[in-house]
Amino acid sequence: MFELFRYQHRETVSENKGPNRWDWALLPLVLAVLGIFAFAAMQMSRPFAVGEALQISLDPAYLPYYLLRTILRMFTALAFSLLFSLVFAAIAAKYAAAEKIMIPALDILQSVPILGFQAIAIAPFIALFPGNLLGVECAAIFAIFTSQAWNMAFSLYQSIRNVPAELQEAAMIFRLSGWQRFWRLELPFAMPGLLWNMMMSMSGGWFFLVAAEAISVAGQDIKLPGIGSYIAVAIEARDGTAIAWAIASMLIGILLYDQLFFRPLLAWADKFRFEESQGDTAQQSWLLDWMRNSFWFREWAARFQVFLGRGLAWFSVSHDGTSEQVRKRALHPAWSKVWDVCLIIISLLAMYSLISFIHSNVGWAEVLHVMGLGMITLVRVMLLIALASLVWVPIAVWIGLRPQYSQKVQAMAQFLAAFPVNLMFPLVVFAMVTFHLSPNIWLSPLMVFGTQWYILFNVVAGAATIPNELRLAADNLGLKGWLKWKRVYLPAIFPSYITGAITASGGSWNASIVAEYVTWGKTTLVADGLGSYIKQMTETGDFHRIALGIGVMCVFVMLLNRFFWRKLYLLAEDHLR
């Protein structure tokens, strides 16, 4: 139980006091990675003026360069997403007053389409770096960030809220401050789930990559060098061969960063599992084995641990008190009521502004029409999430309980989750035109194609953290079949499932903009729904109706999360921890 408090890596130091063969094997790899990313970073900052054409070639020879630029943007966005998640989850989980604002705000943010964020962010970023391509690069990175951060933040928040009671009691016994509790208990406990959600967030960035790299500003189309822009140009040209090359490049890129980044992290995070014995659940990574055998890496890791430990200890002593002192600083009930009144006033002002906007710019008839389209999309989202859950929850539990298989399917699952729905447009258009299929029915699966993996990844992470002792106890008691699922598996993975379902639901609303309005060359298929409405208004440049569509989508997602998913989440937190 107390293993989480001893999370520093304790490696037996070799008698060898100098570099060994593992150091010389790692050195070229490290230098190569640093060199190619430095080159890509230099290419991100060069002179550029709005209106200047950035040529995207469909020659496959350019794909390695485009892949490098795309992966650098995605990892930059991932770093900012991780920082945002740490701050957001720590504040929202510890302060009830902040939680009242931050969790509804997160619901709104995950429901705002990437097109909405781009419309807001492009001009400021370009103005921040005038005459330089870095402004457009920052806008693209910000767009990718909006497809990654919300999932990670909610996952970390959910994990902190569901730390087992016995570990919380151990933290009280050790008199850990709030700062120490976060770094020594809550973050280590949340680490396996957070890493799986980081993988899902990377895949989510791929899913919306075309929208992030192919940017429109001031009537100009800017296509940054990258896989997303390559796909956009291939779709415009109806070039199936180029699409196939893009798919192959994506697969290679995902395999590379899976082996060089995520696989070592998952194997390293296996020591944070909440159980006495590790059993047969350990992840394996050839790169992590190399690093553990490397003299240089061991020296660097030891010095970094000492530096980090001293930093955390100083910050804890200087800026925090004991856990007893922190618990005594409870907010006075009167201030809590004042805070609630302020929130109500802000909500009423926002409602007044919304009513004024509707009355003067779009009209109530248009609002009723958009609300009806929102109901259609809502039915699609709920049906698709239910079907995806029936399919993927049993599969995810099976994978999570068998790490020898989870490592084999890990990269493939990332690839399927990253597969942009735009790449399916040729097949979808051909099938629907040939067989005269209804867009209102057969375009619907595209909404959940890229978001169903949130359920898979979160449930795999939840199943992988089921203590080995609990599974052995279930076997000793003779639990089998549905009884074992009811008493062991479903309660254990239910919090993780709710996290995945909430993010999958929000992602499906976002994906409806791509899925309900499909274009391949000059052929366009449109399904009735809120997503196609926003897409059509975006193409016509009707800002007021774009704002109306995004606002209605935010309202639907907030109500769904507040009165459906939130109830299930509280059930998981209170009764199934």
DSSP letters along 303-370, please? HHHHHHHHHHHHHHHHH---HHHHHH-PPPHHHHHHHHHHHHHHHHHHHHHHHHHIIIII-HHHHHHH
Residues 398, 467, single domain; the answer is yes
Main-chain dihedrals φ then ψ at residue 467, nearest 5 degrees: -60, 140
The answer on pLDDT for 329 being more than 60 is no
In a domain, 287, yes or no: no
Residues 311, 266, single domain; the answer is no
Residues 170, 306, single domain; the answer is no
Identify the domain boundary among 281, 310, 330.
Answer: 330
In a domain, 121, yes or no: yes
Element at 520 (helix H, strand E) = strand 517-520
Residues 106, 37, single domain; the answer is yes
In a domain, 448, yes or no: yes
Residues 182, 133, single domain; the answer is yes
Residue 501 sits in a domain whose CATH number is 1.10.3720.10
Residues 137, 198, single domain; the answer is yes
The answer on pLDDT for 319 being more than 50 is no
Residues 409, 503, single domain; the answer is yes
The pLDDT, as a whole number, for residue 345 is: 79
In a domain, 7, yes or no: no
- Name beta bridge partners: 526: 517
The answer on pLDDT for 391 being more than 70 is yes
Identify the domain boundary among 312, 330, 348.
Answer: 330
In a domain, 247, yes or no: yes
Residues 6+ apart with CB under 8 A from 193: 155, 156, 158, 159, 458, 461, 462, 465, 496, 499
Residues 300, 213, single domain; the answer is no
Query: Which whole number is the average pLDDT over 361-366?
Result: 80
Residues 236, 121, single domain; the answer is yes
In a domain, 37, yes or no: yes
State the CB neighbour count (10 A cutoff) for residue 350. Answer: 10
In a domain, 6, yes or no: no
Residues 215, 118, single domain; the answer is yes
Mean pLDDT of the chain: 79
d(CA 227, CA 71): 9
The pLDDT, as a whole number, for residue 2 is: 39
In a domain, 112, yes or no: yes
The answer on pLDDT for 120 being more than 50 is yes
Residues 200, 304, single domain; the answer is no
- Tens of pLDDT along 246-305? 989 988 988 888 888 888 888 888 777 665 444 455 667 878 888 888 877 777 777 776
Q: Read off the pTM.
A: 0.76
The pLDDT, as a whole number, for residue 162 is: 80
The pLDDT, as a whole number, for residue 218 is: 52
Residues 302, 264, single domain; the answer is no
| Domain extent at residue 231 | 20-273+363-575
Please state the domain count of the chain.
Answer: 2
3-class DSSP state of 524: strand
